[in-house]
Every structure is written in structure tokens, then in C-alpha cells.
Chain A
Amino acid sequence: DIQMTQSPSSLSAFVGDRVTITCRASQSVSTYLNWYQQKPGKAPKVLIYASSTLQSGVPSRFSASGSGTDFTLAISSLEPEDFATYYCQQTYDIPWTFGQGTKVEIK
């Protein structure tokens, strides 16, 4: 299985801060990398697919990049509704696997 490792596991930030989350794959996943946002008690919501493509309806303050084994999700200016847990997912090889999550909390 391809292991996905996110860092940090959690972070605290102020509204308006720029935040970056990284995701590293145990082997190359090309650009088969997605990012999801999950709020407590809710299902995840896709933000980014194919490494850098913004899903329809997702605010442009979210962006992502990377290929191969190293990926980054950035939020340019945190809004109150962005405090949540973020997961990366590889769909390069079955079984599709997720990172362990990064919890973004209010400072």
C-alpha cells in the first residue's frame, strides 16, 4: 500500500493567516492526489483533485501543488469556516489511501 504522511498533524492559526499543509507519499503517485476538508460530524468535502485542480464551488483562497511524492495545500487567508481537518488522498494505486489528517484550529 502507498503510505501518505501529512505534516503537521495539527496547527493553530489566526483568521487571515496563510497556512500550508504538506503531504508526502511513500512512492510516486504522479498527480493522482486529492485534498478533502472535513468538519466535525460531517462527511469530507473535496477541495482539490488531480493535485492542483480546484473543485467547482471551492473558494480561490485554496490552492495546491505537487507531483511525484511531495504535495502542498495552501490556504491564502484563513476564514472562520476553514477551521477543520484536511486529508490528502492518493488514487494512483489501489488501495486508495488517505493521509492521517491535519487539524487546523483557531489560535
Chain B
Amino acid sequence: QLQLQESGSGLVKPTQTLSLTCAVSGDSISSGDFSWNWIRQPPGRGLEWIGYFYHTGSTYYNPSLKSRVTISADRSKNQFSLNLNSMTAADTAVYFCARGRQLWTHPFFDYWGQGAAVTVSS
């Protein structure tokens, strides 16, 4: 059974950089036709896709965050990471990692981590 687990800084000061890691167990992030995604959800609000790392090594980001975000992978540790710089209060959210799967070319998120709550405050 695939499992994803987020870890990282839960409290970040304004202007600083958020660093989160998603550890994957039960499958390799290098195998199969999967994307490895970050999604966030501000308190009481909806979901926002941040971006993904594809198993080939390519990355795609939400244009609204592209100038501040980096998603990378450590294949040796079977994990992928999110860095988001220049944090503001608007970045306060629960951050989820998720696996993206494609069936008949249709992507969707089939496995999710439990989420990591991140607060931006001085």
C-alpha cells in the first residue's frame, strides 16, 4: 500500500522559506507514469495545486507561485520536496503531497499524505 508522509517546518516567519518533504513508501518515485504533487488548502478554504515533479525529472508549477516555488526529488531517499520562498500570511495553509496517476491520459490524485499545517507568523 502506497503511503505519503509530509514533514517539515510548521511555523515560518514572514519573508522566510518554507521547506517540506514528502516521504513515499510502498513504491518508488522513479517507477511508473506518475507525477508527485504538492497541493495546499488555506484554513476554511478550497484546494490549490502548487505543482509537480514528474518521474522523468521535469517539473510544472502553478504560474501564480512559479517565481517562488521549487519542487525537487531525492530518489535515493524516495522522497520529494517543496521549497516556497518569500512567505507571507497568505501562504498559511495545510500542505498536502499527493501522487498523480494517469488513466486514459486523464490525470487525478489517487494517494495523498495526511497534510502538514504551516503557519506564517513572526
CB within 8 Å of B: which residues of A?
1, 31-32, 34, 36, 42-46, 49-50, 53, 55, 87, 89, 91, 94-101
A-side interface mostly:
loop
Residue of A nearest to B104 (CB): A50
Q: Are A97 and B49 in touch, CB under 8 angstroms?
A: yes
Q: Given A53-B103, A96-B107: A43 and B113 within 8 A (CB)?
A: yes
Of B58-66, B70-78, B84-92, the segment with at least 4 beta carbons within 8 Å of chain A is B58-66
Determine whether B46 belongs to the interface, using a CB cutoff of 8 Å to chain A: yes
Task: Bin chain B's interface residue count.
Answer: 20 to 34
B106: contacting residue among A32, A45, A95, A100, CB under 8 A: A32
Cα separation A36 to B110 with both chains bound (whole Å):
10
Interface residue ranges of B84-122 to A (CB < 8 Å): 96, 98, 103-104, 106-110, 112-115
Determine whether B48 belongs to the interface, using a CB cutoff of 8 Å to chain A: yes
